Amino acid sequence: MRYREALNAALREELQRDETVLLMGEDIGVFNGAFKVTNGLLEEFGEKRVRDTPISENTIVGMGVGAAMTGLRPVVELMTINFSLLATDQIINHAAAIHYMFGGQVRVPLVVRMPQGAGHQLGPTHSHSWEALFVHVPGLLVAVPTTAADAKGLLKAAIRDDNPVIFIEHEYLYGQKGEVPDDEDHIVNFGEAAIRREGDDVTIVGISRQAITAAKAADVLSQEHEVEAEVIDPRTLRPLDLDTILESVRKTNRCVIVEEGWPHGGVGANLAALIQEQAFDDLDAPVGRVTGADLPMPYSKPLEQIAYPHEPQVVEAVLSTFRDL
């Protein structure tokens, strides 16, 4: 099943299971979604539960917050994570804080789905990776599924959760295929990382699509350098399964973090700090980081390609942890 089809299956199953679930977003109905994730859902569930909205991200998310507060479980789709910046007031000041401000009397079971990432020549206003912005905010859960199975399982878990969830999908992954359990109760729990590849020499933590890049780099390291890397895909960044990462680092004594976001104040910077704080004595080299370039995403295809990480940068970062001895 393709990643987009797995997301579609999750939405369909949850709409069938729970009549309080509804979808809202630009072009999600008649047009079947900008990336065709909501294909066929308008015809099956009707306009009351699959709602095309005006082009106003702050309004769309605000409607979702209000609907969630009054007993519904809205799933809001934004066309790209860059556009979520227009809705940060509703996401950060309201969705994330209302449960706290109301002393626990009100919950906001809202899911905000949005794609991110480079590789499609969509320029700087459609291609950035903003995980770090939302990970920074207490009260939000943040998911970054890599595989089709995780996309389905995490989305179903997000819809059933009583907390607001930022659900980030990578544009590159929509067409990628993977095995998905044929089970309407297939749930992937938040806060449980996946070990994509086992190894004893170095830990590589890959965020979103970069978990795939990390796995490819691990194969190169094994075949060409006799270095066996353990690859960890966190799957969710809030809550973060830090225990699995630390256990791996204590085994391998080295760590490299790979992300597509910018280097300053990013997810990798946060992870590197946590690892050195809690596993300093186990490290034989500084924690390495591979990030996107520190600039707005270029439109030019050759420039875009060198603005986000690929396998050679990951391989070099891993090898440098051995040279630092």
Q: Which residues are catalytic, by number?
A: 57, 126
Number of Cβ within a 10 Å radius of residue 233: 27
Q: Amino acid identity of 201?
A: D
> Residue 107: left if φ>0, alpha if ψ -120 to 50, beta else—which one?
beta
Sheet (strand 229-233) strand order: 194-197, 229-233, 202-206, 255-258, 288-290
Strands 236-238 and 141-143: antiparallel
Other beta carbons within 10 angstroms of residue 189's beta carbon come to 12
User: Whose CA is closest to 128, among 257, 3, 260, 26?
Assistant: 260
Among the residues of 73-164, which ranges form H helices?
Answer: 88, 98-101, 131-135, 148-160
User: 229 in helix, strand or coil?
Assistant: strand
What DSSP designation does 297 have? P
Tokens linked to 230: 């353990």
Distinct helix (H) and strand (E) counts, the chain: 12, 12
